[in-house]
Amino acid sequence: MKNEVKLRFGTVGSPQTTPGSGTVAAIEHTKQLGLHHLEIAWVQSVRVSDATCADIKAAAEKHGITLSVHAPYYINLNSQTDELMGKSDLRLLTAARKGFLAGARDIVFHPGSYHGQPPEQVYQRMRDKLIELTGILRDEGVDVILRPETMGKGAVFGTLEEVLQLSAEVEGVLPCIDWAHLHARTGNGTFNTYDEFAAALTRVREVLGEAGIQSLHNHMSGIAYTAKGEKEHLPLNEADLRYRDLLQAFVDHGVEGTVGIEAPEPFHTADCLTFQATYRRLLDLREMESA
Ligand SMILES: [Zn+2]
């Protein structure tokens, strides 16, 4: 089935080249660009009416564009006061409820900070919190997957292993693997070879099975980093990320799902198209070899 799109590429946030503003315009432009996915960036706050959500959902269905939501940055499943925890819970729940109304199935979020506490202790708190929040959403009939993201700084919760374990332990939770973050997190330039990328995908398969590989949500971009990890996103042409090797590992492991591209202006749309074109070329090469 050559025409069946198994790995859907799109931008995180409206493609920078979108004429006009708003998510509906971004969906139409995504379609024109030949992309298949859009991650709605509700990263500051979620202020959208139910009517607008319905418009977004209708536009996405009309154009065959799948949607995910990037929830607000100010979420921390390890908040240190009841007041902050309540606000954090509400941000994630609101992103999920509104995202579901808008037709998004995957809700991506940054899980939070260790606050200097032992990672195992923080892990348990986050797991319990996710059991609670997924339970609330399930009771409301909000059918979404919460996707904690792998993070780019060692001081912040979000190793590959932590995110995979949460996904294995909590129903309704699956990973968002940000590959640039995993590369930056090491702080020393490692996690940037075919073998390391392939080993990570093998680990995904071990923990989440074939179903995990076939519904993987990913972020990709160039990235700058220091010994402490992520500094900022970079255009691909200024970054050291070996994205061709990364995508080759995706092809070889049969990864399916979505890839959201984060790149600074003016390279946002261009880098997304480059990732997609590179992936397709590697896929074609593999099909020619096996023909
Ligand atoms: Zn993110």
Asked whether the CA dihedral 38, 42, 46, 52 is positive or negative, the reply is: negative
- How far from 203 is each of 123, 143, 213, 260, CA to CA, in Å? 19, 27, 10, 21
How much distance in Å is there from the Cα of 149 to the middle of ligand 1?
6
How much distance in Å is there from the Cα of 283 to the middle of ligand 1?
27
Model pLDDT, residue 104: 98
* Contact status, residue 213 vs residue 256, Cβ threshold 8 Å: yes
How much distance in Å is there from the Cα of 67 to the middle of ligand 1?
15
Cis peptide before 266 (omega within 30 of 0): yes
Location of structure tokens 């179903």: 211
Q: Which two three-digit tokens encode residue 66?
A: 């799948």
How much distance in Å is there from the Cα of 1 to the middle of ligand 1?
32
Q: Which of 154, 150, 179 is closest to 229 using CA atoms?
A: 154
Q: Amino acid identity of 143? A: D
Give the angle 158-47-144 at the CA atoms, nearest 5°: 50
Determine the Cα–Cα distance for residues 64 and 35; give it in Å rounded to an integer.
Answer: 10
How much distance in Å is there from the Cα of 17 to the middle of ligand 1?
21
Determine the Cα–Cα distance for residues 16 and 29; give it in Å rounded to an integer.
Answer: 10
Model pLDDT, residue 291: 80
Model pLDDT, residue 3: 47
How much distance in Å is there from the Cα of 209 to the middle of ligand 1?
24
Other Cβ atoms closer than 10 A to 224:
14
* Contact status, residue 113 vs residue 78, Cβ threshold 8 Å: yes
DSSP state of 164: H
Enumerate the β-bridge partners of residue 216: 257
How much distance in Å is there from the Cα of 150 to the middle of ligand 1?
8
Pure H helices in 141-267: 160-169, 179-186, 194-213, 243-253
How much distance in Å is there from the Cα of 288 to the middle of ligand 1?
36
How much distance in Å is there from the Cα of 72 to the middle of ligand 1?
9
Q: Which residues contact 85 (CB under 8 A, 6 or more apart)?
A: 79
How much distance in Å is there from the Cα of 239 to the middle of ligand 1?
18
How much distance in Å is there from the Cα of 91 to the middle of ligand 1?
15
Model pLDDT, residue 5: 87
Q: Which two three-digit tokens encode residue 171?
A: 């129903």
Per-10-residue mean pLDDT of the chain, 291 residues long, equals: 77 95 97 98 96 98 98 97 98 98 98 97 98 98 98 97 98 98 97 98 98 97 97 97 98 98 95 98 92 80
